[in-house]
Amino acid sequence: MSPLPFLILLLISLPFQVISQNHSTADEHTILLKLKQQLGNPPSLQSWNSTSSPCDWPEIVCTGNSVTEILLPSKNITQKIPATICDLKNLTTLNLGDNFISGEFPRQLYNCTKLQVLNLSLNHFVGPIPDDIDRISGLRFLRLGYNNFSGDIPPAIGRLSE
């Protein structure tokens, strides 16, 4: 077989590879802008716009072009945590400490399959610490202090193996 068809195939597929390489970043940009909107466009997130790259935003940490950390301590956030956040498939760290978030423990975070660090301290959360919290199986740092959680510490805490 002559190498020519291969060469042609390579030349055709190259541009697609270049486009698809940062396709996920474009997706994550869209997800973050949606997230900002769902959080009620807090003035503290002014730098989150469509022209700047998310990896350059002070509240975002990227690893290999993909969003891995969202750091939003003391941002005057009042809205509940949108389920959209788990569309960021590589998210490992979420810090929402020192905000004004109310309601029950955000079980929607169970869909953040790579989550390792969760800081919800200093908010207005109420109700029980869920008895299936170990569904965030990779969790290794959990901060829930200074809220209004009630009830016992569930055995599920002890099943978090990390």
Report in angstroms how near the CB of residue 117 gets to ligand NAG at its nearest: 7
**Contacting residue, 37, 41, 52, 137, with ligand NAG by CB under 6 A:** 52
Which is closer to ligand NAG, CB of 6 or CB of 113? 113
- Which parts of 102-131 interact with ligand NAG (CB under 6 A)? 107-108, 110-111, 119, 121-122, 126
Which is closer to ligand NAG, CB of 13 or CB of 49? 49
Report in angstroms how near the CB of residue 11 gets to ligand NAG at its nearest: 19
What is the full DSSP assignment across the chain?
--SHHHHHHHHHHHHHHHHHHTHHHHHHHHHHHHHHHHTT--GGGTT--SSS-GGGSTTEEEETTEEEEEE-TTS---SPPPGGGGGSTT--EEE--SS--EES--GGGGG-TT--EEE--SSEEEEPPPTTGGGSTT--EEE--SSEE-SPPPGGGGG---
Judged by CB under 6 A, the number of residues near ligand NAG is: 35
What does the chain come to in residues?
Answer: 162
- Which parts of 62-91 interact with ligand NAG (CB under 6 A)? 64, 66, 73-76, 83, 89-90
* Binding region for ligand NAG (CB under 6 A): 19, 22-24, 26, 43-44, 47, 49, 51-52, 57, 64, 66, 73-76, 83, 89-90, 95, 97-98, 107-108, 110-111, 119, 121-122, 126, 143, 148, 150
